[in-house]
Each structure stands twice: as structure tokens, then as C-alpha cells.
Amino acid sequence: MHLTGKFCNTEGVDTPAVKGADGLLGEVERAEAALRAAADRAGAGSFEAVIEADQKIEPRDVMPEDYRKGLIRQIAQHAHSEIIGMQPEGNWITRAPSLRRKAILLAKVQDEAGHGLYLYAAAETLGVTREELTEALLSGRQKYSSIFNYPTLTWADMGAIGWLVDGAAIVNQVPLCRCSYGPYARAMIRICKEESFHQRQGYQSLYVLANGSPEQRRMAQDAVNRWWYPSLAMFGPPDSESTHSAQSMAWKIKRFSNDELRQRFVDMCVPQADILGLTLPDPDLKWNEQRGHYDFTPPDFDELMRVVKGDGPCNRQRMAHRRRAHDEGAWVREAAAAYAAKGKTA
Ligand SMILES: [Fe+2]
Ligand SMILES: [Fe+2]
């Protein structure tokens, strides 16, 4: 895939390269090389020694029960997010403005299904079944990312989601390519490469709108206004209130704190918004020479907690749709199981 330089755009607008995403992709490639090197090393030693040496824990290795359970929770939540995350954009597939945009969006949404599958498979290596994980989502015991509980009101939301939501996902997920659990780290490498494409397609789509008619431009700005703070909230609560962070950092599952990643995302977005010619909806956003970072207004964490607890604009709709899809797919699961059983007896 060609990932640098200008986009070749059949709609007559050249989109400048997305600065920042190239650097992140380089980080994914370095993590991939490190993973290969780790796989070549023999003799793992104790759990602590493996973590200390920055090697990978594999499914058959002895691991603390809390490490195993914590990873199941995290990977499952991530997998559920990929699957539920297909809904807001799936909403626009039939209404995409051109065949080209429809094909791109369809491919993107399909990628998210694939991400869900890699992640469910990674979680299964920790001793849970796909059925248990699905049941935990449907019963509400496990969560998915709150960002998907916001509605997609206009076509410009497809651009804003790709740019900001997939962009925040990449910033969150690139460090996971170096996470200490091998199957998760390996799944994340592939996911991050695809997320990079998602971010670029969103940015390009938004760029076209931002350079279009006044109405298209207004639509693009409105979408950015609505998605900016929910995207910032994707990094989770502030470090002072984050419950799982310290242990996750010690076990090298998490490599950077929520606030560090949020800052990295803001620093990446500001110059990109300039190229788009769109305004990020934060009057206090400004470069801080001393810190070497942009100052910004944090998201409303009370709102985040309300949405996490089920009170977002689309929580009920998303879960009702997921349950319906699960019920309507029952015959497929039964047929697949019957076919598999037939293969065993033949
Ligand atoms: Fe994804
Ligand atoms: Fe994505």
C-alpha cells in the first residue's frame, strides 16, 4: 500500500499528506521488527523475567491470574468496540455520495469486522470462548468504547470519524504493538496498519468537503465540532482517576498513560486541522512554548462516565441492533456447527 506523499484523488482535489500518521506507522514497523527478534530468542524464564527482558508472554506460559483476567477484559472490550463500531458508519453505506465512496466505506467497515475477529481470536488464547465473550457483551457485563454511542448525523461524519476516531484509535493502539502479550501485540500490528488507512481516507474525505461548496464546508466543520471532544474522551479518564493504569504499565500491557496519549493526539491533530482549514472547537487551544505541547480543554469526563454507564445518545440503539443481528445469525452458527460436526464424523 502506498502510504506516503500526496493522495491521488479522482475528485480533483490533491490532499496533502497526513503529517504525524507517517511517524506512527514507522513506530508500528519498528514494533513488528522487535516482535520478530523476540520470537527468535530462546528460553523465556519466569513471567517476571520475560516482562523485564521485554520479551513476549505466550499462551502456554505461566502468568498471574490477574494478568490473564485483565488482558481478557481489555482485549474483549477492544473486540466488542470494533464490532459495535461498524454500526455508526454502516448507517451511511447506502447513502454514500458516489460509488467510489461507497466502496471505500464498505471496505473500511469490513476491516473493522476483521479487527474484531483477530481480537476475539487473541482473547481465546487466554482460555475464554467466543460464545462467552459475545454473551458478556450482550448481557452488558463487558463494555465497548463509548465513542460509538454518538450518532452519525451527516455524510461529513464519515470523514470526521476516520480522521479523529480512527486517528485516536491509532494513537492508543500503536503502543499496544509492543504489549507484553504476544498474540495481542501481533494482532495490533495488522490492525494499526489498517487503521492508518482508515484515518487517511477520513482525512481525505473531509479535505474534499472542506474545500467544496460553502454548505459542504459548514457540514465538515459541524462534524469536527461534534466529534472532537468524544475523540479526546477515547483516551479514558485522566491519569489521576484511571483505575487500571499502574498495574498495566508494570506488566507492559500499557506503555503510556491516558493523559500522555491524549496530548500526543492533540499535538498531531492541530497541524492537520490547519491543513484542512477547519477549526478545532476549543478556544483555549494554543501552543505552550515551555511544555513543547499544545494546551487544550479536556473533555467532560462526567459526560464520558454517563455514556459509559449506558446513557449516551445511542447506547440502547447500538445494543438492540447487536442483539438483533446475533439472533438473526443463529441459523448461520447452527449450520456452521453442524457442518463442522459432519466433517469430524466423515
Ligand atoms: Fe478497527
Ligand atoms: Fe478503523
**Which ligand sits nearest to residue 198's alpha carbon?**
2
Residue 5: per-residue pLDDT = 39
Question: What is the average pLDDT across 196-207?
Answer: 95
Q: Between 6 and 16, where is the model more confident? A: 16
**Which ligand sits nearest to residue 166's alpha carbon?**
2
> Burial of 225 by CB count in 10 Å (0-12 exposed, 13-18 middle, 19+ buried)?
middle
Note whether 114 and 88 are within 8 A (CB): no
> Burial of 31 by CB count in 10 Å (0-12 exposed, 13-18 middle, 19+ buried)?
buried
Give the burial string for 264-274 (b: 16+ CB within 10 Å, else e): bbbbbbbebbe
Question: What is the average pLDDT across 236-246?
Answer: 81
- 46 alpha carbon – ligand 2 mean position (Å): 36
Question: What is the average pLDDT across 236-252?
Answer: 84
- 330 alpha carbon – ligand 1 mean position (Å): 25
Which residues have CB under 8 Å from 205's CB, separation 6+?
101, 104, 158, 159, 162
Confidence grade of residue 3 (pLDDT, cut at 50, 70, 90): very low
Confidence grade of residue 43 (pLDDT, cut at 50, 70, 90): low
**Which ligand sits nearest to residue 165's alpha carbon?**
2
The structure's pTM equals 0.88
- 170 alpha carbon – ligand 1 mean position (Å): 9
Confidence grade of residue 131 (pLDDT, cut at 50, 70, 90): very high
Q: Between 32 and 42, where is the model more confident? A: 32
C-alpha cell at 75: 482485549
**Which ligand sits nearest to residue 191's alpha carbon?**
1
Residue 308: per-residue pLDDT = 85
φ/ψ of residue 127, rounded to 5: 95, 20
- 141 alpha carbon – ligand 2 mean position (Å): 24
- 195 alpha carbon – ligand 2 mean position (Å): 5
* pLDDT(109) > 60: yes
**Which ligand sits nearest to residue 113's alpha carbon?**
1
- 191 alpha carbon – ligand 1 mean position (Å): 6
Confidence grade of residue 25 (pLDDT, cut at 50, 70, 90): confident
- 344 alpha carbon – ligand 1 mean position (Å): 34
* pLDDT(7) > 80: no
Question: What is the average pLDDT across 264-287?
Answer: 97
C-alpha Rg value of the chain to the nearest Å: 21
Note whether 35 and 180 are within 8 A (CB): no
The overall average pLDDT reported for the chain is: 90
> Burial of 133 by CB count in 10 Å (0-12 exposed, 13-18 middle, 19+ buried)?
buried
3-state SS, residue 152: coil
Residue 20: per-residue pLDDT = 59
* pLDDT(39) > 70: no
Q: What is the Cα–Cα distance from 75 to 117, expressed in whole angstroms?
A: 11
Residue 309: per-residue pLDDT = 85
